[in-house]
Structure 1
């Protein structure tokens, strides 16, 4: 696990409707670069961080934040740690092993429509400028 800072609880944001016991696995397209099939499942120790991911996720479903447990080793997410932010202030992680859904959080902070659009615009600009590289 390296220098992983957290022991949980952990959260995953998505627009998929999941049930306790469901397993989240790698092998799906990135929400940010759909041409990239992801080798990892991403999660965070911050419910609001998972909420942001849920709101930015592809699809038309309702954004949801789930409490998840890793089933194997995990590491700091290199897409946001050190490469972009020293350490791991976003408390973001990734794993090649499945995550198991153990519950749902409903009291996470939702973005205003303006804040959500600002995030979408920022991500679109990064993709357009080819600055949205994913370390897969």
Structure 2
């Protein structure tokens, strides 16, 4: 019996970020974590800001980590397509830039709390979450 596998694509407005074959993909949806294997039923699920893990076909120990800033995951016919505002592989993350973004977001949160600005606080909290996610994913590289 032939081995089935997934084709995994991650696309952002800037283009294709990731395109590989995999045994399993694990992502975090708004309902919780989901694992996708070959022959998975078709689904469309909204993703939260988190890491996506892709266990590659070429090696049992080869796992790719991708920082995804929300988006949508569609699974159909052994193809996993993730469409996100932004996404970065662990090896492509500029850690010092992510650290600076984290510090900026923390300062924005303090300012928003001082001014009682709910909209600013929400934007700054999302920015902080994105920066922390990028830092965490970069540590897998």
TM-score (normalizing by structure 2): 0.27
Q: Which has the higher helix share?
A: 2
Q: Which has the higher strand share?
A: 2
TM-score (normalizing by structure 1): 0.27
Highest relative contact order (Cα 8 Å, sep 6+), 1 or 2? 1
